[in-house]
Amino acid sequence: MLKKFMVLVALLVPITAVGADKAKDEEPVEHLTDEEIYEQLKKFALVFEVARDNFVEEADEKKMLESAMNGMLQALDPHSSYLSADDFKEFNDKSLGEFGGLGIQITSDRGAVRVISPIDDTPADKAGIKAGDYITHIDDEPVFDMTLNQATKKMKGRPGTKVKLTVVSEGEEPRTITLKRAIIKVESVKYEVKTMADAEEDTDEKIGYIRISDFGATTSKEINKALEKLEKEDVIGYVLDVRNNPGGYLTAAIDVADAFLDAGEIVSTRGKQKTDIERNYAKPGDLANGKPVVVLINHGSASASEIVAGALQDNGRALVMGSQSFGKGSVQQQKPLGDGTAIHITIARYYTPSGRSIQNEGITPDIEVLQSKIEVLERKESLYSEASFKNSLKNEDADSDKNKKKSDDDEEELTDEEKDALDYQLQRAMDMVRAMATLKERASVVPATPESQAVLDAEILGDDDADADSKAKDSDDDSGDAAKDK
């Protein structure tokens, strides 16, 4: 049996070599010889047999081996892992845009589970879980001894069932929340026409708002449809919102960036070898017709979101606003092992058109706009007015109900327009689109030159002379008519 097990383990070794690309500059990798690798594998097999034979309870060999393989891959980086048959099937189901769970994208961070971002309109999003939060317990069980796949599996389950999470946000006390699992249907692209919160009702400054919650299999078609519809509305520019977007398919990110570009590089991926470079370029045809674009990012914008923001930023096609993005600049690929299982392994890094690596750095916005709360400095009703004077006359026609102030408990749910008004980053982005559209309109005006001005002056003088001749002629006609009358 030992011999068979050695063959099984030895078959895994070449696979790990595909993605072992995490050498640290300060600690060069010391490669083992074939003989040393064989000795380590013998030790591994020995550990397996001793543990199985001596553990106080019945050992689950499958669980032991899968955990060992997963640990081997996670030693490379947080995004590489072993996928059991069930995990691999769930991964493929999720890629198709529908899956069961809480709607939360997570990663491993020094043994803890960290939230990359919640997906829009999912149980996690509605419960107030934010990018950067840490999950420390799932159903009162600590996550520190779990793999990322195990933590993910514990949060998934039959729709309608509940799961309890202990969540820690920066600078706050841990809180325990109970969420109800649901079928997560990801509509990756939402779009609408928006106007500024302080705009006049009859304003013609319509802004196209496109929200991408993740980059899935249908995102490419959805972005094309959104731009086609919004162009018919004659918008003056676009806000592309990828805040809290955890990423997704590389091809979808390339297609989204291409929709706004007429030419230029979008992204390059570079693998382990110096020759492993692949570049992706935009095809002719800007579906936004050159109109101003502002990309909104934040700490929850990762991977594919950063590719789009970096491509539009480096090509000078868009202004990036918000806060520093997540910094996941690595490419993962699924490599099936032939028995329904697979490994999810990092094979390359992303680079923006200017050659910047996104990994651990993220995208720096052109204009940093942190999400803020607008404070009203002027009272709606002044403390000092006619009504504040003692014995002032009352207004008998005033509707007393209008003077009643609602308590906090009686406040109605905010409308979409009111939510937009409170979204400080969105308002600033739309403000910027409006300013960029104005500048573009002014730039289309041809500046006057001395020669063109002389022609214009001559035309004006010619018109004045013509007016004078016309007036003189009218005067002569009047004189003639007067003579006839006499």
The values of phi and psi at residue 302, to 5°, are -135, 160
Count of helices and strands (H, E) across the chain: 12, 19
Cα separation of 243 and 296, whole Å?
A: 6
How far is it, in rounded angstroms, from Cα 138 to Cα 163? 7
User: Residue 477 contacts by C-beta under 8 Å, 6 or more apart in sequence?
Assistant: none
Q: CA 275 to CA 35: how far, in whole Å?
A: 29
Q: Tabulate helix, strand, coil % of the chain (nearest 5).
A: 40, 20, 40
Q: Rounded CA gap, 351 and 299, in Å?
A: 19
Residue 414 one-letter amino acid: L
> What is the 3-state secondary structure of 411-460?
CCCCCHHHHHHHCHHHHHHHHHHHHHHHHHHHHCCCCCCHHHHHHHHHHH
Contact by Cβ (8 Å): 244, 117: yes
| Cα separation of the two ends of the chain | 137
**The pair of three-digit structure tokens given for residue 350, joined into one six-digit string:** 């992303």
Q: Token pair of 237, please?
A: 């520019």
Please answer whether residues 79 and 344 qualify as being in contact, where contact means their C-beta atoms are separated by less than 8 angstroms.
yes
151 in Cβ contact with 133 (< 8 Å): no
Cβ atoms 328, 358 nearer than 8 A: yes
Element (H, E) at 178: strand 175-180
Catalytically annotated residues: 303, 314, 328
